[in-house]
Amino acid sequence: MIVIRSINDVSRIPGPRAVALGFFDGVHLGHQRIIDDLIIESSGAGFVPTCLTFDPHPLCVLKSPAAGPKMLTSLDEKLGLFESLGVQVAVVIEFDRGLSMLTPHDFSRSVLKGALDARLVACGFNFSFGKGGAGGPGDLVRFGTEIGFKVRVHAPVLVDGVAVSSTAVRDAVSRGDVLQAREMLGRPYSLEGEIVRGDGRGASPGMHTANLHVAADRLLPANGVYATMSRTALGKFPSVTNVGFRPTFPVSSISVETHILGFSGDIYGTRMGVAFLRRLRGERLFRNGIEMAEQIRRDAALALEISAGEAEEAPMPGARLTGGEPG
């Protein structure tokens, strides 16, 4: 997949294009349906299947850097997921004040038709665009008819009667309902970051403990203990992950601490991905380290049982890109 990070570089990969349009945080089942259908239609029409997304989140520019929602995926993870779905070109437009001032009509004319040579544009039912978010799917259909591209507006994908959206996934993750989040994402909710050294007080004999440094804008699951699957530089391992303040040995800020089961080796300073399979329990205050270690062993046994039911190659974001990157 080729990644283009400036609208001025789009001409290096000529169209005509079919463009999936959106912020795509999480690349959930609704996003996947939009992209899958776009790729199928592109193949028959000879269009270049392209995803157009934005960075940072518009609210970070329109209000303040802290105003945007906590992210389900980093930009790199999002791009890796695009690639895994078969997207040929991803265009990442920097969302800035200038872009925010374009009217919906100007965006459709200058960006979609002018810069991208879009012949087909696909979006979700709740997509908004243009100055003040004034444009919606109906406006996009109208402008497409006027300017010269077709529009496909996709109805919501429902999971247990709930419309799948990035907001709905964030709500599930925030409640610790990683099973519902998984149903909406089509894969386990995952975090990725660098492994840093902790104080070592949460470690237990036979368990390798890794403290994950997660970007400040990423959404953490509700505090508690989770059965997880960890992807390290040395392979994938079942694990138990605590998200929270560790009340027995308190820390000053929320930590993501993973006990990697059946693993030995020095991986400090490397990156690790943690996929959340199931919430086991809330955080507890233990009387001492021995009592805590016993509970961790019970958690580990349950996590091993849960991970045994996982597919050998459970999908996790963060796939490495294989295409060139102009500019």
The pTM assigned to this predicted structure is: 0.89
User: How would you classify residue 96: left for phi > 0, otherwise alpha for psi between -120 and 50, otherwise beta?
Assistant: beta
Exposure string of 88-103, with b = 16+ CB inside 10 Å and e = fewer, is bbbbbbebeeebeebe
- Return the structure tokens found at 146: 């006027």
- φ/ψ region of 113 (left if φ > 0, alpha if ψ in -120 to 50, else beta) reads alpha
Which pLDDT belongs to residue 326?
Answer: 29
Map tokens 């979700």 to a residue: 124
Which regions of the chain carry the CATH code 2.40.30.30?
187-308
Q: What are the residue ranges of CATH 3.40.50.620 in the chain?
A: 2-155
| Ordered per-residue pLDDT tens for the chain, 327 residues | 999 998 889 888 887 999 999 999 999 999 999 999 999 999 989 999 999 999 999 899 988 888 899 999 999 999 999 999 999 999 999 999 999 999 999 999 999 999 999 999 999 999 999 999 999 999 999 999 999 999 999 999 999 999 999 999 999 999 999 999 999 999 999 999 999 976 555 455 456 689 999 999 999 999 999 999 999 988 899 999 999 976 555 455 788 999 999 887 788 899 999 999 999 999 877 777 788 888 888 999 999 999 987 754 444 554 332 233 323
Q: Which CATH superfamily is domain 187-308 in?
A: Riboflavin kinase-like (2.40.30.30)
CB atoms within 10 A of CB 283: 15
Cis peptide before 56 (omega within 30 of 0): yes
Query: What is the strand order of the sheet 89-94 is part of?
Result: 2-4, 89-94, 48-55, 17-21, 118-124, 150-154
Phi, psi (degrees; rounded to nearest 5) at 27: 45, 60
Bridge partners of residue 225, in order along the sequence:
242, 281
Tell me the sheet residues that pair with 9.
none
Angstrom distances, CA of residue 110 to CA of 46, 113, 131? 22, 6, 14
Residue 318 has a pLDDT of: 44
Give me the pLDDT at residue 11, please: 82
Torsion of CA 36, 37, 42, 43, to 10 degrees: 70
The second-level CATH assignment, the architecture, of 2-155 is 3-Layer(aba) Sandwich (3.40)
